[in-house]
Amino acid sequence: MSDDRSSDPEDCPMIAVRDLVVSRGGERVLDGVSLSVDRGELVGLVGPNGAGKTTLVAAVNGTLTPEAGTVELDGTDRSTLSQREVARLVATVPQESNTAFEFSVEAVVEMGRTAYVSRFGTTTEADRAAVERAMDRAGVTAFADRPVTTLSGGERQRVLFARALAGETPGLLLDEPTASLDINHQLRTLELVREVVDDGKAALAAIHDLNLAARVCDRLVLLAGGRIRATGTPREVLGDDALADAFGVRTAVNDDPAVGSPMVTALRDDES
């Protein structure tokens, strides 16, 4: 009997996590986490520092191996896939780049094609075209020849995003991509993510700013203490009592007067 999910991958989530358990130093960082991300969907991971957001991203892309549970990419158990096969399904945009060498912007973006380059390291016309499309989409073509070490934080983040796009993967993972950026570059980065998701990619993004997450994400997943405390639309999650419990502060949710998305405000004890 054939497997319907594998015969028609459009019927299964691009990313599916089931009962994931990860421990570090004898402490459970993720405890029975399950979630899914469909094509054309941007799911935001939110929660306090130490909630397990970065660990979850690492477990999905294979940087670390969970002690229990499964991760499926496009309907296939990730543990059965080679590193190259995983890299053709999901690309990761890290929080920041540790690149200390003076690679050019174009050279860094070309690294996103590693999963397609032959054993002899030769690139094809298709590789070069993918790199050009990615640089254009991320808005980094104008400084393609500059060393990445000379760029601002916002520019470097766009280069990392272009590198992920160059792989032309159906899935994207983003680990706090706006954490060290000013408000202009935060918004621009997440708008870029939103654009490629609207084109059909699936994206799972750890985002520290609740209001930015609510503005761009289709769904939010609230992590705290290694467990999912709430999941749903931004309005549902921001209005859930679990949010206040997770962050240890009372909150109020209103509509942003400029864009209409839900906006959360932390309240002092003497505020109502």
Give the Cα separation of 272 and 261 in Å (integer).
Answer: 21
Q: How far is CA 175 from CA 57, 138, 183, 193, 206, in A?
A: 7, 17, 17, 12, 5
What is the pTM (predicted TM-score) of this model?
0.91
Give the Cα separation of 172 and 217 in Å (integer).
Answer: 14
Structure tokens at 166: 């160059």
Which residues, 6 or more positions from 172, have their beta carbon under 8 angstroms from its beta carbon? Answer: 90, 91, 92, 93, 164, 193, 196, 197, 201, 202, 203, 204, 205
Residues of the chain with CATH 3.40.50.300: 1-89+171-247
Task: Give the position of tokens 């799972």.
Answer: 204
- 205: helix, strand or coil: strand
Instruction: Kindly indicate whether the domain formed by 1-89+171-247 is annotated with CATH number 3.40.50.300.
Output: yes
- 88: helix, strand or coil: coil
Give the Cα separation of 102 and 100 in Å (integer).
Answer: 7
Q: Which helix (H) or strand (E) holds 131?
A: helix 125-138
Give the Cα separation of 16 and 71 in Å (integer).
Answer: 6
Q: pLDDT by residue for the chain (272 residues), tens digit each?
A: 334 444 455 679 999 999 999 998 889 999 999 999 999 999 999 999 989 999 999 999 999 999 999 999 999 999 999 999 999 999 999 987 666 578 999 999 999 999 988 766 678 899 999 999 999 999 999 999 999 999 988 888 899 999 999 999 999 999 998 887 888 888 888 999 999 999 999 999 999 999 999 999 999 999 999 999 999 999 999 988 999 999 999 899 999 988 989 999 988 877 76
